[in-house]
Amino acid sequence: MTFSIKRCMAIFQKDLKNLYRNLYVLTTAFMPLILAFVYSRMGEAPLELHMMILTLSLSLVGTFLQCAMIAEEKEKNTLRGLMLSPATVPEILAGKSAVTTLITLITTYLGLLMMDFPFANNGLLLVGSLMALVIFIALGTWMGLVTRTVMEASIYILPVMFIFGMANMFIGFVHQYAFLQVLEYTPGVQLQEIAELTGVTADWAQLWQPFAIISGWLIVIVALTVITFNKRMMD
């Protein structure tokens, strides 16, 4: 079965219209921008703050928008019809992820731009960030499939925001609280490591580990999402 761009775009346009009518969900995108604006007025920001805005945008906006849109479909009992439509699983997932991807990328770019982040010579960080974006959108899809309402999705997003979105800030307390060492393996902290290594012109012998960890997250979360989606289709 071939991939239909027409069906994918139809899902994209429907979700975009629904999102415009749901200001509660859409305003979530402003949180990283507000923080970026505040930090930009505090002088030159360290790398940790740049990375926090990056990971907060990816995790909060990417995960919550995706989760809330799918939860809203379930709340309106329209997700079942979509699953039983002629659209294939890749078409549905691509169409529903396109809106989230667009808004997340815009939010992330504007947030980093406010903080004067040096975009030049950060190609590897861009690759890692795009991989992290896929992780968080897939996580949002899975959370949307297991939650029942938008309000429930709002509660589920809180641990994601603190564990993934703010890990770069919490990791500084690892010497006082040993249990925070687990945060070293989160995608956001790995992105910070890529940024730090890129700044000192590190070779692949040093860069492979953070990319391997991010790839591990990517494989696990995407596989979990696809399995859960297929299970929902058979229920």
Q: Which residues fall within 8 angstroms of residue 212, CB to CB, at 6 or more apart?
A: none
pLDDT at 162: 81
pLDDT at 156: 83
Q: Which of 70, 73, 76, 67 is nearest to 28 (CA)?
A: 67
Q: Between the CA of residue 121 and those of 21, 45, 187, 195, 200, what are the distances in Å?
A: 39, 19, 20, 10, 11
pLDDT at 174: 73
pLDDT at 1: 53
Residue 132: which domain range? 5-234
Per-residue pLDDT tens digits of the chain, which is 235 residues long: 567 778 888 888 888 887 777 777 778 778 888 888 888 887 777 778 888 889 889 988 889 888 888 888 777 777 767 777 777 777 777 888 888 899 999 999 998 888 888 776 678 888 999 999 999 999 999 998 888 888 888 888 888 888 887 777 777 777 777 777 888 888 888 888 888 877 656 567 778 889 999 999 999 999 998 888 878 766 5
Q: Which residues fall within 8 angstroms of residue 191, CB to CB, at 6 or more apart?
A: 51, 54, 55, 125, 128, 129, 132, 210, 214
User: Which position has the token pair 């504007």?
Assistant: 110
* Token output for 63: 């995960």
Q: How many domains does the chain have?
A: 1
pLDDT at 215: 94
pLDDT at 228: 86
Q: What backbone torsions phi and psi does residue 3 show, to the nearest 5 degrees?
A: -80, 125
User: pTM value?
Assistant: 0.87
Q: Which of 96, 67, 76 is nearest to 155 (CA)?
A: 67
